[in-house]
Amino acid sequence: MAGPMLDVRTLKGFRDQLPPEMGPRRAMLQAIEAVFRRHGFAPIDTPALEYAEILTGKYGEEGDKLLYQFEDNGGRKVAMRYDLTVPLARFVAQHQALLPSPFRRYHIGPVWRADKPQRGRFREFVQCDADLCGHNSALADAEVLVVGLEVLQALQVDGARIHVNHRGVLTALIAAAGVDPAAAPVAIRAIDKLDKIGPDGVVAELERTLACSPATAREVLSVFAEASDLASLEAVLVRAGVDAEVRAASVGRLRAVFELVAAAGHGDRLFFDASIARGLDYYTGIIYETRLTDPKVAAIGAVMSGGRYDDLIGSFGKTQVPAVGISLGLDRLQAALRELGLCGDGRFGADAFVVAIDEADAVAAMALATDLRRAGVSAELSTRGGKIGKQLESGDKRGCRVALLVGGNERARGEVAIKDLASGGQQVVSLSQAAETVAGLLRV
Amino acid sequence: MAGPMLDVRTLKGFRDQLPPEMGPRRAMLQAIEAVFRRHGFAPIDTPALEYAEILTGKYGEEGDKLLYQFEDNGGRKVAMRYDLTVPLARFVAQHQALLPSPFRRYHIGPVWRADKPQRGRFREFVQCDADLCGHNSALADAEVLVVGLEVLQALQVDGARIHVNHRGVLTALIAAAGVDPAAAPVAIRAIDKLDKIGPDGVVAELERTLACSPATAREVLSVFAEASDLASLEAVLVRAGVDAEVRAASVGRLRAVFELVAAAGHGDRLFFDASIARGLDYYTGIIYETRLTDPKVAAIGAVMSGGRYDDLIGSFGKTQVPAVGISLGLDRLQAALRELGLCGDGRFGADAFVVAIDEADAVAAMALATDLRRAGVSAELSTRGGKIGKQLESGDKRGCRVALLVGGNERARGEVAIKDLASGGQQVVSLSQAAETVAGLLRV
């Protein structure tokens, strides 16, 4: 094992999770899973590695560049999971005969993107996805939005706004501005950047990518600005002569979804926003992104987003399976909770710290630690030996609340000293009563 | 997205987890975590990718070949996590100033090995590790063994035997057979294969790798066979003139650990076994492997193993930090539970299935589903629409237990029909009583 000194570090864009971070993270994951299950979503998992051809071409040109791709020892071209949606599509196509319809699944796991690391953006991060595959209906769209909103509520993330749009609305608005509907995807990519590059930037990009006049480019933007809520959106589309059927499938669908989400008690969270475009190529219907309104966390970005993708699963198999999903970014959610002071106090020691006063007391100390654990009290048996003061200090340092000293005269009398590490108060009880006494102290 | 038809499949040695598997798996993970926490172990996580130089040279020559290694887009040599122990060592060396001593951590996550896939052996599998870093003591060794034994007990894996040995015992026995102690690692690798290649195979390998006589090779084996329990081990070592100090540090340590584990109620699970060698290069003290004795699951192999590695963390930093750990293989454990019939009934639907009879009932159905969920009942809102019979069938198929039909005359009267999907029995209750009624039905 000897050798030149290593540079001991993690890769750029990758992080270790220490206990003061990872403890609250585990608690968040449990809360998220409980909401998913309460809404009838069942867990699945897929491999970290897929055949590269499964993943390439699904995330647009920029996405492809961010894939971790390599050749494995058997010469296969493989890639690391970039999101949980494309693997789900492959999964549904592959196992369709074994799955019920609709199929509600959740999936929690890391994904990898060779993105430029920056504040809050990492190359490895955890997504928590809930998707409903099988039906294209307002009920399906609403169920998925509701599960996401319930997660935010369970995590006490207040002041989240879900900005909602529909790919059909985008296409209709672009047509209303006089642009060839075939060019809609190109125009949508430009509009998606409104937040980042501003209106002038979007106009310039539209001119360039659509090869259109400045007037047409500005008309696109102005049509989008006018459609500030569902009523004015409808007015814009009627004026432009968009088919009633097209309006029903887009504006009408959004209305129905808004009403259903309101029935679940979350109506005040949804906002129509014509500028939401979602960069990913695979969306076909409703799309949404979350904004945190609290100024302390507004910069964290979208903590939850998703939409409907009715053609993606079909691209892997013989059957079209319409689907809609929502994806929560655990790392961003945790960053928000941390800023909001909702992320624990950093202590991670066991509640009870059991110290053998002498080596000959070790077996009795183990028996006592076992009693405590059987009574549901988390307990550490001190493994250090040596001076009692040093041992107690180490238990205190990591946040243990109570120390039990096994040995000396007390042990000879069948007793044990229990020390409150915060107050310093001490009491002596019989060994057989110790677990119950500690459980009582911790409940206070 | 159009293109040539893809081969829709997972990579060899990699698997999807479907809900009937993944549901029990999540339950197992929760049980395992609860035990880890009750014993004072705190969660951490480390990246899936590390600089390759962190991982290479730690697992022996064969291990190095099984690493998934590649160059990332920035030209860095990276490798996927092969186990959770070497990343822990890197983690402790890197963050030592932030960690308490001793540091008890658990880590649950996938690892990747480009091994030859075979029955029960995969290229991606999940390890659940608990390690105690900071002290080399019998108490530390025992705490780690106890946490593993408590996990097996929590999962109801009966009849597990932990075969325990000590690297110091191996070295002493090899010296007792007249082999140069410097050649011990080579001899240990041969003895480690006893289970696989049998005594003749081991003798042949010892002759070859030690360049020794057949008599010496057979003497090595006979010394190991004689040391069938701690008492006869001690006798062999005394006869061979092994130092009292060496015997105390190895045999004496094992005696102390056995006594401590017995005090935690698991004495009947530990067995000294001189033939346990553990292939990995980094072990320095106690080592152990689990055997399942139930013939139904004996072939599954070691579900839990580990040992003491006092030099590994020091190889990454300036400070030696002694450490001991235990690693549970989730996939093998689940395979065992499945064989033993302890892995659930395969149903994964929500308990309640809410159906809107007509499209106009959808909003009321969402409100009812919300009531159920708030009352802690898992509920799916049917998203299919169309014939009620078809909808009920789909709820029944995925294991929902109760269906609620929202609409018609009942809804006009403020009521809802509740149908028991197993018995077919039906009752009508007021909408405001529905959640309570269903919760009651499910408790039966």
Lowest mean pLDDT among A357-366, B389-398, B415-424: B389-398
pLDDT value, residue A2 = 44
Min Cα–Cα distance to chain A from B321, Å: 13
Closest CB to B263 among A3, A256, A363 = A363
Quick: pLDDT tens for B406-432.
999 999 999 999 999 988 899 999 999
Q: Which residues in B lie closer than 8 A to residue A26 (C-beta atoms)?
A: 33, 43
Closest CB to B43 among A23, A50, A362 = A23
pLDDT value, residue A281 = 73
pLDDT value, residue B194 = 85
Closest CA to B365 of B344, B395, B329: B395
CB within 8 Å: A23 and B42: yes
Angle in degrees, 0-180, between the axes of helices B230-239 and B214-226, rounded to the nearest 10: 140
Quick: pLDDT tens for B95-145.
999 999 999 999 999 999 999 888 778 999 999 999 999 999 999 999 999
pLDDT value, residue B1 = 44
Q: Assess whether pLDDT exceeds 60 at residue B3.
A: no
> What is the enclosing helix (H) or strand (E) of B293?
none
pLDDT band at residue A275 under the 50/70/90 scheme: confident
Q: Assess whether pLDDT exceeds 90 at residue B53.
A: yes
Extract the runs of DSSP E, i.e. beta strands, from A137-242. 160-166
CB within 8 Å: B53 and A381: no
Closest CA to A405 of A427, A384, A422: A427
CB proximity B322 to A under 8 Å: no
Q: Where are the alpha helices (DSSP H) in A39-84?
A: 52-55, 60-65
pLDDT value, residue A280 = 62
Specify whether the CB–CB gap between A182 and A159 falls below 8 A: no
Closest CB to A137 among B140, B348, B383 = B383
Q: Assess whether pLDDT exceeds 90 at residue B88.
A: yes
Quick: pLDDT tens for A156-177.
998 899 999 999 999 999 988 8
pLDDT value, residue B190 = 87
Side-chain half-sphere of A79: how many Cα atoms within 13 Å? 25
Which comes out higher in pLDDT, residue A318 or A265? A265
**How many angstroms separate the CA atoms of A403 and A341, rounded?**
29
**How many angstroms separate the CA atoms of A25 and B108, rounded?**
13
Please, what are the domains in chain A? 9-159+293-348 (3.30.930.10), 167-264 (no CATH), 352-443 (3.40.50.800)
Closest CB to A54 among B2, B6, B139 = B6
- pTM confidence score: 0.93
Mutate: best of B49, B259, B393, partner A, most A CBs <10 A: B49
Nearest CA in chain B to A110: B48
CB within 8 Å: A47 and B3: no
pLDDT value, residue A1 = 44
What's the rounded mean pLDDT across residues A25-33? Answer: 96
**How many angstroms separate the CA atoms of B378 and B399, rounded?**
12
Q: Assess whether pLDDT exceeds 70 at residue A299.
A: yes
Whole-number average pLDDT of chain A: 93
Q: From its phi and psi, is residue A327 left (phi > 0), alpha (psi between -120 and 50) or beta? A: beta
* Beta-bridge partner residues of A105: A42, A131
Q: Assess whether pLDDT exceeds 90 at residue A193.
A: no
pLDDT band at residue B4 under the 50/70/90 scheme: low
Q: Return the percentage of chain B with pLDDT > 70, whole number.
A: 98
What's the rounded mean pLDDT across residues A260-268? Answer: 96
Quick: pLDDT tens for B262-310.
999 999 999 999 988 886 678 999 999 999 999 999 888 889 999 999 9
Which comes out higher in pLDDT, residue B421 or B184? B421
pLDDT value, residue B327 = 97
Quick: pLDDT tens for B301-353.
889 999 999 999 999 988 999 999 999 999 999 999 999 998 888 888 899 99
CB within 8 Å: B47 and A73: no
What's the rounded mean pLDDT across residues B89-99? Answer: 95
pLDDT value, residue B410 = 93
**How many angstroms separate the CA atoms of B167 and B232, rounded?**
17
Q: Return the percentage of chain A with pLDDT > 70, whole number.
A: 98
Quick: pLDDT tens for A31-88.
999 999 999 999 999 999 999 999 998 888 888 999 999 999 999 999 999 999 999 9
Side-chain half-sphere of A161: how many Cα atoms within 13 Å? 13
Residue A361, number of CB atoms within 10 A of its CB: 17
Q: Assess whether pLDDT exceeds 50 at residue A204.
A: yes
CB proximity B327 to A under 8 Å: no
> What is the enclosing helix (H) or strand (E) of A348?
none
Mutate: best of B383, B398, B411, B438, partner A, most A CBs <10 A: B383
What's the rounded mean pLDDT across residues B164-183? Answer: 90
pLDDT value, residue A4 = 52
* ipTM over the 0.85 cut-off: yes
Mutate: best of B7, B18, B99, B253, partner A, most A CBs <10 A: B18
pLDDT value, residue B2 = 44
CB proximity A97 to B under 8 Å: no
CB proximity A315 to B under 8 Å: yes
What's the rounded mean pLDDT across residues A106-129? Answer: 93
Residues whose CB falls within 8 Å of the CB of residue B201, separated by 6 or more in sequence, listed in order: B193
